[in-house]
Amino acid sequence: MIDESFHLTPLDVRRYDFGRALRGYNPARVDQFRDQVAEEMERLTRINQDLDSKARSFHEQLRAFRERDKALNDALIAAQQLRGEVREQAEREAQLILREAQAEGERIIEAAKSDVRRMEQELDNLDRSRRTYLAQMRTLIARQLSEVEASDSQVVASTLRGAGSNSSGSNRE
């Protein structure tokens, strides 16, 4: 089991004194091994620091990516909402245009019906005027004809009287 509170640095390894004992370890070999352990610890410490630095960088990048992902998701949601709002607005405008077109169509139809009624009345008035005119012309022509006939009768009667006076005057003679 490793004790987490025990931290050994390369400097601790270099300064550690094993003490001297009779028939103990070879001091030169212990010093050499201590130097190798210290160098390896320095190398591992540098690697560990590099890995910690990279891990911090990766964590920072991950945080940035998560922020970008959140921003993209927010933008996507906003775009979807905007699309829905634009669609609803377009539908409202289409309905408004349709209602306006229907109202305009109904207005045009009513105006056309009114024009037709007005024209029918004018046509009826013109027909009445034509009939009145024809009746007046017939009356006038009939009067003129009777005047012509009366005038012809007078001419015939005066001719006959004039011829009869000539014959009665020749009888008198």
Instruction: Calculate mean pLDDT across residues 127-154.
Output: 91
Put simply, whether the predicted model's pTM sits higher than 0.75 gets the answer no
Say if residues 45 and 73 touch (Cβ distance below 8 Å). no
Q: Which residues contact 41 (CB under 8 A, 6 or more apart)?
A: 8, 9, 10, 13
CA angle in degrees (0–180, nearest 5) for 135-137-143: 105
The phi and psi torsions of 7 (rounded to 5 degrees) equal -120, 125
- Token pair 């270099």 is found at 14
pLDDT in tens, 56-109: 999 999 999 999 999 999 999 999 999 999 999 999 999 999 999 999 999 999
Cβ atoms within 10 A of the Cβ of 132, count? 10
